[in-house]
Structure formats: C-alpha cells, structure tokens
Structure 1
Amino acid sequence: MKTTIDYLKDRYNEEKTRFDHFESKSARLLTFITAVIAALTALASYKSGAIFHPTHPAYVIALITFLIGSFLICCAWGHTLLSLKIGDIPTMPKSPEVADWLNAVEEEQQLQYIFKCYRKTLLELSTTINDKSVALENAYTELVLSAWMLAITALLYITMELIK
C-alpha cells in the first residue's frame, strides 16, 4: 500500500506542477492579448477612425476583416480569463481533525484513507486542469484566426496605399 501511496503522491505533485504551468501560461497570454487589444484600439482611432469610413470596396473588406479579427481577439481574451478563473483548487484534506483522526487510528486505516484522498483529489485536479486546457486551447485558436483576419486587413491597406 505504501508503494501505491508513493505513486499517487508523485502523480499529485505532477498534477500540481501541471496546474501551475497552465496558470502561468494563461497569465502571460492574458497580458499579451490585453496589449494587442490596446494596440487595436489605437490603430482603430488612427486618422480619426478612417478604417470605419471605407471609400473603396477593398476598404469595406478590410473593415469587415478588422471587425472579425477584433471580435476574435476579444473572444480569446474571454477564454483566457476563463482559464484563469479563480475557483476551488482541489487539495488534500488538511484540517486538524483529519490529522488527529489519522494519528488515532491503525496504520492500515490511515493508508486506506490517504489512498482514497489522493485518488479523489487527483481526479478533481485533473478535471480542473482539463477545463483550463480547453479554455486555453480555444483562446489560442481564436488568437490565430484573429491574426489571420488582421493580416488580411493590413495586406488590403498596404495594397491600396501602393496602388494610389
């Protein structure tokens, strides 16, 4: 039984490390996306918001791709916030009552209780991490799509400026 508990303890530590990794990645991505949103806001106000007053069909397409790209970056920001959502982080029981009870019972009961705690906590922690992973994956997908839309916008504007 001790070998099993050691194994579960190692898995628990790995999952906690994985949890911290996702939290860190989400925080960095949130900072990056916030900066991109600020840059888009500044870009939209450039030349008194000329992007919102298209004078040629190519500029209409550029406006549409800009709006889609902006919408997608906002969605990515929202999904990143979801991945950072503060909630109950599954942890092992740590109350003084549990410690006292473990101290008072036989070793076999202790090991059985600890085994059940690790098993339950690992399942909950893994589920929490997987939820964060899905939200973060959605944010990355939206970020890529947004980059494509904004690249098309830039390409259209550059082309139109070169043609003038």
Structure 2
Amino acid sequence: MDETISYLKDRFKDEQDRFNQVENKSAKFFTAVSILIAGLSAMAGLKNGAVFQLHSPLAVLTFIAFLIAAVAIACAWGHALSALRVRVYPNLPSNRLTGDYLNAVDEATQKQHIYNCYIGTLESLKITIAEKTKPLDLAYQEIMIGASAFGVLACLVVLRELLA
C-alpha cells in the first residue's frame, strides 16, 4: 500500500503541475487576445473609420475581413476569459477533522483513507483540468480564424491605400 500511495502522490503532483500549466496558458492567451483586440481597434480607427466606408468591392472585402476578425477575436476573448474563471480547486483534505480521524484509526485504515483521498482528488482534478481545457481549445481555434482574417484585413488595407 505504501508504494501505491507513493505512486498516487507522484500522479497528484503531475496533475497539479498540469493544472498550473493550463492556468498559465489561459492567462497568456488572454493577454495575446487582448493585444489583438487593440490591433483590431486601431485598424477600425484608421483614416477616420475607412474600414466602414463601403464604396467599392475592395472596401466591402475589407469590411468583411474586419467583421470576421472582430467576431472570431471577440469569441476567443470570451473563451479565454471563461478558461480563467475561478472555480473550486480540488485538493486533498487538510482539515482538523481529517487529521483527528487519521490519528484515531489503525495504520491500515489510515492508508486506506489516504488512498481514497488521493483517488477522489485525482479524479476530480482531472475533470477540472478537462473543463478548463475545453474553452481554451475553442479560443485557440477562434484566434487562428481571427488572426487569419486580421492578416487579410491588413493586406486589404495596404492594397486599398496603394490603389487610392
């Protein structure tokens, strides 16, 4: 049983590290999306809102690229924010009641209780990580769409300026 508990301790540490990695990626991703929003806002304000002046086919294409980028980046921002949402973080019981219980029972019962605590917490932690990863995956897909549309928008704006 000691080897099993040692193994579970190592897996618990691995899952905690994985949880922290997802948290850090969410924060970095949220920052990156916020920067893209600033860039998109700058594009919208360029030359007194030239993006919104639909007087030629090129202008319409520019507006469509802007719209796609704006919607995709806004969705990515929302999903990144959702991944950062603070939830109940699964952790091993560490209260007085647990300590008193472990002191009151025999060694075999202690080990079984510790085993059960690790198993329950690991299962809960894996579910929490999976729930945090879903919106982060969606945000990544949306940011790829938004960044592509933003690149097309930038090219169209440059082309529009060259032709003007």
What TM-score does the superposition give when structure 1 sets the normalisation length?
0.95
Shift of 1:39: 2.1
- Is residue 120 of structure 2 the alignment partner of residue 114 of structure 1? no
> What's the secondary structure of 1:91's corresponding residue?
coil
Shift of 1:10: 0.4
Q: Which residue of 1 aligns with 2:52?
A: 52
Provide runs of 4+ in structure 1 moved above 3 Å.
none
Q: Which residue of 2 aligns with 1:161?
A: 161
- Is residue 67 of structure 2 the alignment partner of residue 67 of structure 1? yes
Shift of 1:80: 0.6
Shift of 1:46: 1.7
Shift of 1:156: 2.0
Question: In structure 2, how many angstroms separate the alpha carbons of the residues matched to 1:70 and 1:163?
Answer: 25
Aligned length: 164
Q: Which residue of 1 aligns with 2:132?
A: 132
* Cα distance change of structure 1 residues 147 and 60 upon mapping to structure 2, 3 Å threshold: same
One-letter amino acid of the counterpart of residue 69, structure 1: A
Cα deviation per residue 1:53-110 (whole Å; 9 max; x = unaligned)? 1221111011011111111111111111111110100001111011011011001101
Unaligned runs of 5+ in 1: none
Question: In structure 1, how many angstroms separate the alpha carbons of the residues matched to 2:150 and 2:41?
Answer: 13
- Tell me if structure 1 keeps the 8 A contact 2:79–2:139: yes
Q: Which residue of 2 aligns with 1:42?
A: 42
Question: In structure 1, how many angstroms separate the alpha carbons of the residues matched to 2:115 and 2:22?
Answer: 26
> What's the secondary structure of 1:13's corresponding residue?
helix
Unaligned runs of 5+ in 2: none
Q: Which residue of 1 aligns with 2:7?
A: 7
- Report the more deviating stretch, 47-56 or 120-129: 47-56
Pairwise CA RMSD: 1.1
Q: Which residue of 1 aligns with 2:17?
A: 17
Question: In structure 2, how many angstroms separate the alpha carbons of the residues matched to 1:159 and 1:42?
Answer: 17
Q: Report % sequence identity.
A: 41
Shift of 1:41: 1.2
